[in-house]
Structure 1
C-alpha cells in the first residue's frame, strides 16, 4: 500500500515537471526566438564589431609607439579589453542569428561567457582608474607624481585583469549549456538553474559583483569628476582648451557608466530576483537587449582616448590630413599636467 502511494506521488511530480517544462519551453520559444533577440541583438553586435574593432586596434598601435605616460597605460589596456570584447562578440552574433543554438560545446560556452563578462568588468575598472588618474593629475599635480608612474599604472592594470578574471571562476566551474530537443537547440548561459540562482547568485555572487564592478566604480568616478570640475573653475587653472577637454572627458566617461552599464546591471539584478520568485523570464529578454546596447561603449571609448591622450589626438589629426595648430606657448605647469 505504501509503495502504491509512493508511486502515485512520483507520477504526480513527473506530470508537474513535464507541465513546467512544457510551459517554460513555450515561453522560451516565444521570447528567446523573438525578432529582438535573434535579429536586433546580433545586428547591434555586428555594427559594434565593425566600428569598434578597427578603432581600438588603431588605438593600440598608437599607444604602443610611445608608452611613457601613466594615463596611456590605462588607455592601452582599455583598448585591449575592447578588442577582446568585440572579438568575443563574433560568437554571440553567430549564436543569436542561429536562433540561440550553441554548436561549439560546453567548454567554449564557458570560455566565451567568462571572457565576455571579464572584458566588460575590466573596462569599468579601467575607466575608473582613468578618472582617478585625471583627478590626481589636475587636482594634486605635484603631490601625486610619486604615485603616478608608468610602473604603478601597469601594476594597477595587472591587478584589474586578475580581479576580473578571478570573478569569472563561478562561470567556468559550472555547466552553462542546456539542450532543448523539442526546440532542436542547445542554449549557452541563457537558461539558469533556479535553485543555483537562489542559493548562490542572489545571496553571494551578485551583491559582490554589482558593488565591486558597478556601484563602487560609479561613486569613485563621480567623486573624481566633481573634484576635476571644481579645480577647473579655480582662477589658477588656465587654458580654455584644457578645460573643455577635461569637461568633455568627464561627460563621456559618466555617460558610458550611467547609460551603457547602468541599465544592464540593474535589469540583471531584477531578473535574478524574478527567478528567485519563480516569475516570468521576460525580463531576461530585456536584459539581453540592454547588454547589446551596453556594447556600444566600445565605440564610445575612442572618445575617451581622444580627450585623454595628446598622442591619440595628434594621430587622429594626421589621419585626417590636418595639422594641429599650437595657439599659445605651453606653460610648464600645463605641460606637467599634460603628462597625465
Structure 2
C-alpha cells in the first residue's frame, strides 16, 4: 500500500529537485559553452554530465504531477516512454561520464607521460558520443516495454513497465545492475584508489600545470563521492528487488520494506543532479574562475557595445549638423 507522504511530500520534493536541477545545470552548461577558453578534457566530461542531469530534471515535473494525482497517469503513452527513457539514460550516461572522468584523472596523475595523446579534446568528445549512444541503447527497454494502461478494478491509469515475462524482466534488470553499477563502479573504484595514492605521493606545490591537475582532481573526487552516496543505495535496493522477483528471497515483510525503500532511494538518487552543480561552485576553483571571467567578458562586451552605440550616435549628429 502506498503511503500518504507519496502524494503530499513527494511531489513537492520532485518539483524542487526539477527546478533547482534545471537552473543549476543550465548555468553550468552556459559557463562551459560561452567561456572564451576551450574546455579541458575533464570539463568536456563534466559538461556532458551536466547535460545528462538536465535531461533528467527536465522530465521530473511529469513525475511530480503523477505523484500528486496519486499515481493516476494523466499524460500520453509517448510522454510515459520519454520520461522513463530520460531516467534510464541519466542512470547509464552519468556513471559512464564519471568513468571517463576517472580514467582521465588516472592517466593524468598515474601515467602522465605514457598516454598523453589519449587525453585530447578530440578523443574526449568521441568518448562522450559513445556514452550517449550506449545510454540510449541500454535504455531501449523503456521505449519497448513502458506503456500506459487503465486498470478498472482500482479505477486508475498507470505508466509502468509491462515485461512479457519474469525472464525478460530479470534479464533487463540484470543488464542495468551489471552495466549500470557493477562494471562502472569497479572501474571508478580502481581509478579512485590509484588517484588518491598518486595525490598522497605528489607535492601540491610546484608547476602551475601540476597545481591545476590537483585542483581538477579534487573536484572530480568530490563529484565521485556525491554520486556514490546518492546512487549506491538505489542499485542495492534494485538487487534486492531482483532477488525477490526471482523468488530467491520470499519474506513478505521484506517485500514491503523493499517497496518503500525503492521509492525513497530512487528520488534521493535524483538529488545528485542538483548536487553536482553545487559542488562545481563550492569545490571547483577553476570553475569559479571561469564564472568570474565569463561575467567580466559579458560586462566588457556590454561596455564595448554601449561605447560603439554612443560613437555611432555622435557621428550621426555631426553628419546631420554639417549637412544642415
Q: Deviations over 1:210-229 (max 9, x none)?
A: 11111111111121121111
Q: What corresponds to 1:87 in structure 2?
A: 58
Measure, in 2, the Cα distance between the counterparts of 1:81 and 1:205: 21
Structure 2 residue matching 1:187: 3-state secondary structure: strand
Any stretches of 5+ residues in structure 2 without a counterpart?
297-324
Cα displacement (A) at 1:94: 0.6
**Contact 1:264 1:287 (8 Å CA) reproduced:** yes
Q: What corresponds to 2:16 in structure 1?
A: 47
Cα displacement (A) at 1:102: 0.8
Q: Does 1:180 align with 2:151?
A: yes
Q: What corresponds to 1:225 in structure 2?
A: 192
Measure, in 2, the Cα distance between the counterparts of 1:172 and 1:165: 10
Measure, in 1, the Cα distance between the counterparts of 2:140 and 2:217: 37
Q: What corresponds to 1:166 in structure 2?
A: 137
Q: What corresponds to 2:27 in structure 1?
A: 58
Aligned residues: 285
**Contact 2:226 2:275 (8 Å CA) reproduced:** no
Q: Deviations over 1:309-335 (max 9, x none)?
A: 6652214456999xxxxxxxxxxxxxx
Q: Does 1:211 align with 2:200?
A: no
Q: Does 1:78 align with 2:49?
A: yes
Residue 271 (structure 1) aligned to one of 234, 241, 244: 241
Measure, in 2, the Cα distance between the counterparts of 1:140 and 1:227: 11
**Contact 1:249 1:304 (8 Å CA) reproduced:** no
Cα displacement (A) at 1:237: 4.8
Any stretches of 5+ residues in structure 1 without a counterpart?
1-29, 322-340
TM-score (norm 2): 0.79
TM-score (norm 1): 0.75
Measure, in 2, the Cα distance between the counterparts of 1:182 and 1:279: 27
**Contact 2:219 2:284 (8 Å CA) reproduced:** no
Pairs within 5 Å for 1:15-26: none
Q: What corresponds to 2:169 in structure 1?
A: 201
Out of 64-73 and 213-222, give the one that drifted further.
Answer: 64-73
Q: Deviations over 1:42-96 (max 9, x none)?
A: 2221221222211110110111124342112111111111111000101101111
Q: 1:177 to 1:185 in 2, by over 3 A?
A: same
Q: Does 1:301 align with 2:270?
A: no
Residue 83 (structure 2) aligned to one of 112, 123, 126: 112
Q: 1:276 to 1:192 in 2, by over 3 A?
A: farther
Measure, in 1, the Cα distance between the counterparts of 2:215 and 2:99: 20
Q: Deviations over 1:281-323 (max 9, x none)?
A: 53233212211000110112124534886652214456999xx
Q: What corresponds to 2:288 in structure 1?
A: 313
Q: 1:50 to 1:68 in 2, by over 3 A?
A: closer
Measure, in 2, the Cα distance between the counterparts of 1:320 and 1:99: 44
Pairs within 5 Å for 1:230-241: 230-238=197-205
Measure, in 2, the Cα distance between the counterparts of 1:286 and 1:233: 38
Pairs within 5 Å for 1:19-34: 30-31=1-2, 34=3
**Contact 2:28 2:47 (8 Å CA) reproduced:** yes
Cα displacement (A) at 1:276: 3.5
